[in-house]
Structure 1
Amino acid sequence: MNVRRLIPTAALTGAVALAATALTACSGGNSETGDAKGGRLGVTASFYPLQFLAEQIGQDHVKVTGLTKPGVEPHDLEITPRQTSQLGDADVVLYLKTLQPAVDKAIELSGVKNVVDAATLTKLETHSAAGHEGHDHDHDHDHAAEGDGHDHGEAGTDPHVWLDPVKYAEIAKGVGAALEKADPSHAADYRKNAAELVAKLGALDTEFKDGLQNTATKTFITTHSAFGYLAERYGLDQEGIAGVDPEAEPSPARMKELQDVAKKDNVTTVFFEALASDKTAKALARDTGLKTDVLDPLEGITDSSQGADYFEVMRSNLKNLQKALGSK
């Protein structure tokens, strides 16, 4: 994850307003021509997990455009006039409110009518970077977020719901319903595709549940504290090095604490993500005699990803967790 860049509100508002004005002047409205869409429903998704849902559920009936390009961390997205035009052109916009402030502002100013906030399709929770503090593995229990220097959104909620297949399936159902409403003539296909995707996510949930049920340790250390939902779902303890930003420098006290946790809980591996520096992970691993490996937060797919889509990367994550935790 790259270091988050803050965009001045006034500058962002001006840029979005200018783009919206230009779009209206050139096209005379919010609808892209049928030729440009090929007669399909135009869907704009703010980042990969929502883009994947739209593609899987919509299939040949939709033309999906992603605002966040491969290799760009979603929090860092800066909206261009062209991307604002895409929002204005879309029949449906999928986003997760507060994850990408620039997208939130652009949607507000674009005037697009059919907007789906994934945060309303499942329950968001708060998770602590230190998994041992008050962690009872109760799936309905909200954990207090520790100060990690990052805005998780409403009341400090954790946005990384797609890393829990059960919650991701809830979002998939909502996306399917939104496509049905926007394009009633293909409602039966959307319903069928959504049901098939939900079934696949159910199977993935079973794989994780079975694969992580019997392990030598339940604790994993990661540079990116994105795996709170996954940890809570499968009875694990996530220990984040420095909150949700994997490139933030942890305090000496936190590094000492993690050394103690690693020794106490027989931790074998420090996880990092492929798109961020592994310097901190390697430093901790060197000091504690641990290994390093990749745990992908699945905010995008690139050539560095351990798989070509959501399911392949999640199964790679499962394999890496099983190895690190000593699955039996």
Structure 2
Amino acid sequence: MNVRRRLISGSAALVATALGLGALSACSGPGAADGKGAGKLDVVASFYPLQYLAEEIGGSHVSVTNLTQPGQEPHDLEISARQTAQLQEADAVLYLKNLQPAVDDAVAQSEVGTKIDAASLTTLEKHGNEVGGHAAEHDHGAGEESGAADPHVWLDPVRFGEVAEGVAKGLEKADPKHAGDYEKNMAALRKKFVALDQDFRDGLAHTDTRTFITTHAAFGYLAERYGLTEEAINGLDPESEPSAKRVRGLESLAKADGVTTVFYETLVSDRTARTIARDAGLRADVLDPIEGITGRSKGDDYMEVMRSNLKALRTALGAR
């Protein structure tokens, strides 16, 4: 089932139930307990990348709660009545519209004073298996999701930096008393994004091949930014199964373009990627879409995992 298109059953009922739990929200989780009670701005983030921005920019002035637990696939999120009540009582919510339908529903029906939609802070484009186009030519069904806007903007350091600027402005508006500190923290984060972008530019400037294969089309923005070609096994849906024709197309592409590696990710099964890699005589390795940080992540935060991704790409592409 395409998790991006399915209706989240019962979400409206959860919202209605949660709105009646306002009196209980003070004990509805660590964010509520540590936020307003400690005089901090109570921020709810829908998944890890936005949690990272809130914590980096907010610093000691915010208490951040992530609705998506470590190890949980964000697209599958169905929020509980308790979480919806927590969101209702928050000072600010950070989310990415159309990534998590249950969150979109809850935010739309909440009365949170500051709602920051990351999708509105940068430009979204349509990506899918047609990225690069080579393997897709062999499978007319491969690009069936290409009409959907790609939400994975956080994997492009430049676009994610634009999102960060908007988040900073949103926090300043929600908490003008500490606006100066938010501006200072954003300045420091801005330098990190600039350095990360330069590392990718330098690290991927000279490679034996420009094509890489991934489990699903999460890296379209990154590929576009650095002149690479992403070929995805499963389009924008990490859970879907590729057709036999699609698999044959990828195997042909790998031989033609000198592809060495099939990448999989940490939060979904690696079975299909490993099978394709084995049958085509290729390596299998992790390219992390950074939808959550777990014990399997190659780094403790966004910046560290992005640099691990860069290292993996350099190896796979034959960087020199």
TM-score normalized with structure 2 length: 0.91
CA 1:157 to 1:5, structure 2 compared with 1: closer, same or farther past 3 Å? closer
Cα separation, 1, equivalents of 2:8 and 2:81: 15
Match runs of 1:249-328 below 5 Å: 249-328=241-320
Amino acid of the structure 1 residue aligned with 2:210:
K
2:198 corresponding residue in structure 1? 206
CA 1:210 to 1:5, structure 2 compared with 1: closer, same or farther past 3 Å? closer
Alpha-carbon offset, residue 9 of structure 1 = 5.5
1:233 corresponding residue in structure 2? 225
Residue 270 of structure 1 aligns to a residue whose secondary structure is: strand
Residue 156 of structure 1 aligns to a residue whose secondary structure is: coil
Is 1:275–1:304's contact at 8 Å kept on the other side of the alignment?
no
1:82 corresponding residue in structure 2? 82
Alpha-carbon offset, residue 198 of structure 1 = 1.1
Cα separation, 1, equivalents of 2:7 and 2:132: 37
Alpha-carbon offset, residue 242 of structure 1 = 1.4
1:98 corresponding residue in structure 2? 98
Cα separation, 2, equivalents of 1:199 and 1:121: 19
Is 1:285–1:291's contact at 8 Å kept on the other side of the alignment?
yes
1:242 corresponding residue in structure 2? 234
Amino acid of the structure 1 residue aligned with 2:18:
A
Is 2:143 the counterpart of 1:146? Answer: yes
Match runs of 1:84-233 below 5 Å: 84-133=84-133, 146-148=143-145, 156-233=148-225
Alpha-carbon offset, residue 318 of structure 1 = 0.2
Is 1:37–1:63's contact at 8 Å kept on the other side of the alignment?
no
Please, which moves more after superposition, 110-119 or 317-326? 110-119
Is 2:73–2:268's contact at 8 Å kept on the other side of the alignment?
no
Report Cα offsets for 1:99-147 as digits up to 9, x if no partner.
000001011122223101011100011113133229xxxxxxxxxx921
Alpha-carbon offset, residue 210 of structure 1 = 0.4
Is 1:241–1:255's contact at 8 Å kept on the other side of the alignment?
yes
CA 1:7 to 1:147, structure 2 compared with 1: closer, same or farther past 3 Å? closer
Alpha-carbon offset, residue 225 of structure 1 = 1.1
1:19 corresponding residue in structure 2? 18
The CA RMSD measured in Å over matched residues stands at: 2.3
Alpha-carbon offset, residue 26 of structure 1 = 7.6
1:140 corresponding residue in structure 2? none
Cα separation, 2, equivalents of 1:188 and 1:26: 30
2:55 corresponding residue in structure 1? 55
Cα separation, 1, equivalents of 2:113 and 2:230: 39
Cα separation, 2, equivalents of 1:295 and 1:176: 28
Percent identity, aligned pairs only, is 56
Is 1:223–1:245's contact at 8 Å kept on the other side of the alignment?
no
CA 1:25 to 1:118, structure 2 compared with 1: closer, same or farther past 3 Å? same
Is 1:75–1:99's contact at 8 Å kept on the other side of the alignment?
yes
CA 1:118 to 1:5, structure 2 compared with 1: closer, same or farther past 3 Å? closer
Report Cα offsets for 1:51-86 as digits up to 9, x if no partner.
000000001010111111101111111111111111
Amino acid of the structure 2 residue aligned with 1:147:
E
Is 1:51–1:66's contact at 8 Å kept on the other side of the alignment?
yes
Is 2:128–2:236's contact at 8 Å kept on the other side of the alignment?
no
2:40 corresponding residue in structure 1? 40
Cα separation, 2, equivalents of 1:35 and 1:269: 45
Cα separation, 1, equivalents of 2:65 and 2:6: 23
Residue 284 of structure 2 aligns to a residue whose secondary structure is: strand
2:29 corresponding residue in structure 1? none
Alpha-carbon offset, residue 307 of structure 1 = 0.5
Amino acid of the structure 2 residue aligned with 1:22:
L
Alpha-carbon offset, residue 222 of structure 1 = 0.6
Is 1:131–1:238's contact at 8 Å kept on the other side of the alignment?
yes
Is 2:4–2:101's contact at 8 Å kept on the other side of the alignment?
no
> Matched residue pairs, number?
309
Is 2:68 the counterpart of 1:71? Answer: no
CA 1:279 to 1:196, structure 2 compared with 1: closer, same or farther past 3 Å? same
Alpha-carbon offset, residue 287 of structure 1 = 1.5
Amino acid of the structure 2 residue aligned with 1:15:
L
Amino acid of the structure 1 residue aligned with 2:47:
F
Is 2:71–2:267's contact at 8 Å kept on the other side of the alignment?
yes
